[in-house]
């Protein structure tokens, strides 16, 4: 495992596009399928950005998430990027990521996104097997996913990420390994491999209640996690966060990590726009409500759309720094911890950390406390032991 800090202290800007063609069976991200709301939403989004406090800090990432941001036209994405550029102090080079669903893009559109200023595209492949895509309720075929990745390259994207899901019922280690190999064959700069989880309120949770869906046993998914980490490390990918792998393992410094998502794990500030988006200016976190119609009405009436806010105590912040930092191979920097809280990490957690290190779950080297591969797998146990719970 590499132990280097992931990001500079600049902030990140997040834009939530709350539309999907159809809701996937496993998904609990906020989105609706009424695309008639798109124009009004974009107007409201523009009003929310215009009303935001410009800073500090400076920002060096923009991330279009959702929902399905690739539902937007390139010209709409360009207008949002231009407005963010005008409103905030952006410190170059800015990473601009857009999540794309293979069922909503074609070569022309991908070229348009690239020309609009998007320089990193994250394609929601999920699986290269048709039966898995059907089970997950995806709108695209495996062939469309392959075409989208190839078209992204032709459109000029040098930073292409693929999302894959494992831990599906009945999925054999061989079938998952074949999905990984299909992904690797495209030579992506980034692979996110997520373990399927059943979130309350999703159609999949309903299927589970009815006995029509049984999640894969934990020992099977643990074995898949370890096999994924080993295979991708062998293919030159740095396993830099529980579910995330970036090409460029050697030395770690040039790995093509998601700079934006790394801000969350490194406890950097971020601002979010759109329904359900969160913002964080330590120690204050605030979030918008999850209702696009209300979001539009609020901004039309000149109101912000707050869903809630909290000011974190120092104790809460310390716990979050542990929970988020230990998701990553960089772990928590002991000097950073001292600078942030004026407390010595070893005084607070040293005894528990030594014990976890003896069990092979953590390392304490080079001024950082970082999880091993096993430690990532048992993150909840690690954090609970450090926090004395
Ligand atoms: S496309 Fe993505 S955001 Fe939309 S429902 Fe499916 S998983 Fe969720």
For the chain, the structural domain boundaries read 11-265, 314-386
Atom of ligand 1 nearest to the CA of 124: 2
**Alpha helices (runs of H) in 252-329, residue ranges in sequence order:** 259-265, 292-300, 314-325
pTM: 0.95
Q: Which of 128, 121, 205, 214 is nearest to 167 (CA)?
A: 214
CA 371 to ligand 1 centroid distance, Å: 30
The strand ranges marked E within 140-277 are 160-166, 190-195, 237-241, 244-247, 270-273
CA 21 to ligand 1 centroid distance, Å: 9
Q: Collapsing DSSP states into helix, strand and coil, what is residue 161? A: strand
CATH architecture of the domain 11-265 equals Alpha-Beta Barrel (3.20)
Site to probe by mutation for ligand 1, drawn from 24, 105, 198 as the one with most ligand atoms within 8 Å of Cβ, is: 24
Q: What is the dihedral of CA 287, 289, 292, 298, to 10 degrees?
A: -90
Q: Are 246 and 237 in contact (CB under 8 A)?
A: yes
pLDDT tens series, the chain, 389 aa? 444 554 457 999 999 999 999 999 899 999 999 999 999 999 999 999 999 988 778 999 999 999 999 999 999 999 999 999 999 999 989 999 999 999 999 999 999 999 999 999 999 999 999 999 999 999 999 999 999 999 999 999 999 999 999 999 888 999 999 999 999 999 999 999 999 988 888 988 988 888 888 888 888 999 999 999 999 999 999 999 999 999 985 455 667 999 999 999 999 999 999 999 999 999 999 999 999 999 999 999 999 888 999 999 999 999 999 999 999 999 999 999 999 999 999 999 999 999 999 999 999 998 999 999 999 999 999 999 998 86
Q: Ligand 1: list residues with CB < 6 Å.
A: 20, 23-24, 27, 29, 31, 66-68, 101, 124
CA 296 to ligand 1 centroid distance, Å: 21
Longest Cα–Cα distance of the chain, Å, equals 58
Atom of ligand 1 nearest to the CA of 20: 4
Q: Are 180 and 186 in contact (CB under 8 A)?
A: no
CA 136 to ligand 1 centroid distance, Å: 10
CATH numeric code, 314-386: 1.10.10
């Amino acid at each position: 495992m590499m132990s280097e800090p992931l990001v500079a202290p600049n902030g990140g800007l997040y834009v939530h596009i709350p539309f999907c063609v159809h809701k996937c069976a496993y998904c609990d991200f906020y989105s609706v399928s009424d695309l008639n709301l798109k124009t009004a939403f974009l107007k409201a989004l523009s009003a929310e950005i215009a009303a935001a406090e410009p800073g500090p800090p400076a920002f060096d990432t923009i991330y279009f998430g959702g929902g399905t941001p690739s539902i937007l036209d390139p010209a709409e994405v360009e207008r949002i990027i231009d407005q963010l550029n005008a409103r905030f102090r952006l410190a170059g080079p800015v990473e601009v990521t857009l999540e794309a669903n293979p069922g909503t893009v074609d070569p022309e559109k991908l070229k348009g996104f690239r020309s609009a200023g998007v320089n990193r595209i994250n394609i929601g492949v999920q699986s290269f097997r048709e039966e898995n895509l059907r089970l997950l309720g995806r709108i695209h075929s495996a062939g469309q996913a392959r075409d989208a990745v190839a078209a992204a390259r032709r459109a000029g994207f040098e930073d292409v990420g693929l999302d894959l899901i494992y831990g599906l019922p009945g999925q054999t280690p061989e079938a998952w390994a074949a999905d990984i190999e299909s992904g690797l064959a495209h030579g992506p700069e980034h692979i996110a491999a997520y373990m399927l989880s059943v979130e309350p309120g999703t159609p999949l949770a309903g299927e589970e209640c009815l006995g029509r869906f049984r999640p894969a046993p934990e020992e099977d998914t643990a074995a898949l996690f370890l096999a994924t980490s080993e295979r991708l490390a062998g293919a030159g990918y740095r396993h830099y966060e529980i579910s995330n792998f970036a090409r460029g393992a050697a030395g770690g410094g040039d790995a093509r990590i998601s700079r934006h998502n790394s801000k969350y794990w490194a406890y950097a500030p971020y601002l979010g726009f759109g329904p359900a988006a969160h913002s964080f200016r330590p120690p204050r976190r605030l979030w918008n409500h999850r209702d696009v119609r209300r979001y539009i009405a609020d901004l039309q009436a000149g109101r912000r759309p707050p869903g809630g806010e909290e000011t974190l105590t120092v104790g809460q912040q310390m716990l979050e720094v542990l929970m988020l930092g230990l998701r990553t191979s960089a772990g928590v920097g002991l000097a950073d911890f001292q600078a942030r809280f004026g407390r010595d990490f070893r005084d607070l957690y040293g005894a528990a950390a030594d014990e976890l290190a003896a069990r092979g779950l953590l390392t304490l080297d080079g001024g950082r406390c970082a999880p091993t591969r096993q430690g990532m797998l048992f993150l909840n146990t690690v954090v609970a032991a450090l926090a004395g719970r």
